[in-house]
Chains A and B, each alone.
Chain A
């Protein structure tokens, strides 16, 4: 099957006063048309930076997408496009929703105008048509009384409603790819499921692929077809959602799954992965997970593991599965 988005060896570094932070360090993965890919990892593992790199919205300075990275979308490398060409893709073919619905809408513009803005820009509609379409989108995302809300300001809506508005805005131009960066993290638990259902529902309607960035494995199980697990700027495991949950390979993935609360298991105490994500300014010499890994061997502290292909669409970056293929 053809790939919609193919990220190859993406490296996004931040040049800070304290040194170079390799937030994303050689990440490769792809998304097929219409599928939902979960990108999972702890805070600071580089998943958000990967998402904003895809839209080329990394603040520069201090951030920089390094030479040799490729982000191929529908056959074109986005990193080779001019800024003007890139703008035609943002909000149109690739759109994005963010973690913070409370602050992601501009407080001084009416909701309808904010949705209409993308339609005026990308679809060449006139003002009246854009307004009609904005109302239609609000109806689609399940906002009650859309004819009234269209003239409201963001502050009069709740977080869940604002995230619905963000989704309406993101889907207004029928994008091929929707990047959702922790779309439910800031919401009440009761609202989270609604928003996820809405996203899953609408992505089918407009036939968009979704890059779902989350640290919540429950969300992944609910929505994703395939999963990419990231740790300290690298992909450590990749596979379809079933095999990741049933048969996790990387000790980090195993740890993540163990630390997930389960409604049925009746555990007394949750497992947790000891330690914290390494300081990106001072990464371990070998495998970046080695200091926290309960299966770490001598080689793990010396050399960085390469990617081992375990099967179709199934890879892992760990010496447990391939002891020879180390890179310095």
Chain B
């Protein structure tokens, strides 16, 4: 298993380099010029082209694309992701500050998704074609189809503006100390919005997996042993039905980070997703690159975690 893990990590290196080349290319091809922001029109007309060239040189944009890329790569290999054009701070410090916020939001969202999806999926499978099956299935189809931005705004409209129960945005009201209830009130809405898609999908997976498992011969064996229906379902069936869900969890890690971009923007949540969106809109190349590389690493790690978890929950899977 250790050997397998090391092999996978080594394989990830060329993959990440290719991702970085493509991302670098695409961002630089995107319309817009970061230097425009720094040009003072009055100075520009007074000082002429030298002034603009100076700004370009200052931002490192006067060099050809491939030179810039290799410079960037060289710095990254030394652990330096450069400085944000606009915040005048190192990309790493910006992201390190935002990352915990995103992780908290993502984990709570995933937790809500699983807490709802697993029991609901089980009920749907056991009471197939019952009224509960139809209700949960409808909820899950709606959940999968709702656009995040619309759903988020609707929740804000209802629970923040009309009912006034929860705050509209941000991560906290109290900036002096950590108050648990304050944080909790702020995280509920964004976590529901972010977790909705995963919840809907997991509910369907759970229902399907459970339906598949309860038809299996070993479930009949379990019943023939005299086990109660509760033990048959919770121990013998669920343990098998959770295998695909656990695997999905690994794959949903990167999805939670990229999906967080829209949710974080709507709820003004200070996480990496919102930073990514702002960075893209303002052509802040170093910040975009840092951000995307985090998502790329998460994706690679997530799929590795998924594969390793698979071996943990299913004794039939062994990695050499």
> With an 8 A cutoff between CB atoms, is B239 at the interface?
yes
CA distance A169 to B224 in the complex (A): 11
Q: Evaluate contact between B222 and A92: CB separation under 8 angstroms.
A: no
Stretch from B98-106, B133-141, B309-317 forming part of the interface with A: B309-317
CA distance A106 to B214 in the complex (A): 12
Q: Which residue of A lies closest to B229 (CB)?
A: A83
Q: Evaluate contact between A155 and B228: CB separation under 8 angstroms.
A: no
Partner of B228, one of A87, A95, A166: A87
Chain A: minimal CB distance from B195 (Å): 27
Q: Evaluate contact between B217 and A153: CB separation under 8 angstroms.
A: no
Chain A, 64-106, CB within 8 A of any chain B CB: 84, 87-92, 95-96, 98, 100, 103-106
Chain A CB count within 10 A is highest, among B222, B225, B239, for B225
Residue numbers in B under 8 Å from A166 (CB-CB): 221
CA distance A260 to B202 in the complex (A): 52
Q: How many residues of B contact A (CB 8 A)?
A: 20
Chain B: minimal CB distance from A234 (Å): 25
Partner of A104, one of B221, B228, B315: B221
CA distance A108 to B222 in the complex (A): 13
Partner of B226, one of A103, A108, A122: A122
Q: Evaluate contact between B223 and A90: CB separation under 8 angstroms.
A: yes
Q: Evaluate contact between B218 and A92: CB separation under 8 angstroms.
A: no
Q: Evaluate contact between A105 and B221: CB separation under 8 angstroms.
A: yes
Q: Evaluate contact between A153 and B315: CB separation under 8 angstroms.
A: yes
Contact count band on A: 20 to 34
CA distance A100 to B218 in the complex (A): 10
Q: Evaluate contact between B218 and A90: CB separation under 8 angstroms.
A: no
Q: Evaluate contact between A57 and B223: CB separation under 8 angstroms.
A: yes
CA distance A64 to B239 in the complex (A): 29
Q: Is the interface of B mostly helix, strand, loop or mixed?
A: helix
CA distance A105 to B219 in the complex (A): 9
Chain B: minimal CB distance from A80 (Å): 18
Q: Evaluate contact between B240 and A121: CB separation under 8 angstroms.
A: no
Residue numbers in B under 8 Å from A155 (CB-CB): 315-316
Residue numbers in A under 8 Å from B224 (CB-CB): 55, 57, 90-91, 95-96, 98
> With an 8 A cutoff between CB atoms, is A235 at the interface?
no
Q: Evaluate contact between B226 and A57: CB separation under 8 angstroms.
A: no
Q: Evaluate contact between B226 and A106: CB separation under 8 angstroms.
A: no
Chain A: minimal CB distance from B214 (Å): 10
With A98-B220, A100-B217, A106-B218 as known contacts, state yes or no: A117 contacts B227, CB within 8 Å: yes
> With an 8 A cutoff between CB atoms, is A107 at the interface?
yes
Chain A, 157-174, CB within 8 A of any chain B CB: 166, 169
Partner of A87, one of B226, B236, B239, B313: B226
14 pairs from A and B in contact (CB 8 Å cutoff): A55-B224, A87-B226, A87-B227, A98-B217, A107-B315, A107-B316, A108-B239, A108-B240, A108-B313, A109-B236, A118-B226, A121-B225, A122-B226, A155-B315
A sample of 20 more A-B contacts (CB under 8 A), given A95-B225, A103-B217, is: A84-B228, A90-B223, A90-B224, A90-B225, A90-B226, A91-B224, A91-B225, A91-B227, A96-B224, A98-B221, A104-B221, A106-B240, A107-B218, A107-B240, A108-B314, A108-B315, A121-B227, A153-B315, A166-B221, A169-B221
